[in-house]
Homo-oligomer: A and B are copies of this chain.
């Protein structure tokens, strides 16, 4: 390539990588830089990582369905933080690939670390990734996976907080909205379980309420709520809560007097409703924090897998409960 600019490729490599051990004369450096710019030279990541035996790629599977606005904000923060540590963050769009296939598709890129949200991987998957050169595998999900570091997003706790809050406010017949949309079970099931646990051993009851993300479904569910005699509902997140709350109001149900409603995720829009929507605010770990964990794991691949619970959940009471 740019050795057409007068020098050998080795020299080019030295110059462009600013190798400390070897000193190149200033005129030569300039010639190389100029030639590079002129030819629009861009190093070949594949060749480099082939030679080096590893890449600086941190791979994340792109989620099949956006879990909510929270996630994309979080993702950007994380990308920024990893970028500062000189990693290249890459989201792999493996829609339609499952389990093993997906893992192999990720492994082909030989990422130095893999960040898996949800439940997209098992112990064998982790092993495949590690054998293929990944120095760190980090899961972000409800439970740890053997061999991988775990950031435990304890959604069970979210449900527990909501359940305890409603019970403390005197509610006994509690419904829990679970999205019908598939791909959200990883989050919604633990939230439901959390409510159940909060009410276990009390006189409260918990009813699962499937809800599709559309108005007809909400109208049907509102009607069903009436029949069930519920006095409170915890919805998967604020969007589903808004949907149901509207339908209940249209049915003449007074909120919170007859039925209390609480959501989760603390979206801006929940504050706009009347009554203002109570919610469970979720604290995700900062991007910095996760980025540092990844970096530590990469530098020290032998270390024991860390397991950290990283999801703070606090009830924000507004007017709907």
Contacts and interface: CB of A to CB of B under 8 A. Distances in A.
Nearest to A109: B45
Given A39-B131, A213-B268, 7 more contacts: A40-B128, A46-B49, A65-B76, A66-B69, A215-B268, A215-B272, A269-B269
A32 interface: no
A73 B214 CA distance: 16
Contact of A83 (B42, B76, B89, B96): B96
Per DSSP, chain A at the interface is helix
Interface stretch (A100-108, A141-149, A189-197): A100-108
A268 B239 CA distance: 9
Contacts of A39: 131
A304 interface: no
8 contacts: A43-B108, A45-B108, A46-B109, A47-B50, A62-B91, A66-B69, A214-B268, A246-B272
A207 interface: no
A246 B269 CA distance: 10
A259 interface: no
A80 interface: yes
Contacts of A84: 96
Interface of A: 39-40, 42-47, 49-50, 55, 62, 64-66, 69, 72-73, 75-76, 79-80, 82-84, 88-97, 104-105, 107-110, 127-128, 131-132, 213-215, 239, 242-243, 246, 268-269, 271-273
Contacts of A127: 40
A46 B50 contact: yes
Contacts of A97: 83
Given A55-B46, A213-B268, A95 B79 contact: yes
A266 to B, nearest CB: 13
A242 to B, nearest CB: 6
A90 B89 contact: no
A219 B82 CA distance: 37
A4 to B, nearest CB: 14
Most buried by B among A43, A75, A97, A108: A108
Nearest to A60: B93
A47 B132 CA distance: 13
A183 B302 CA distance: 41
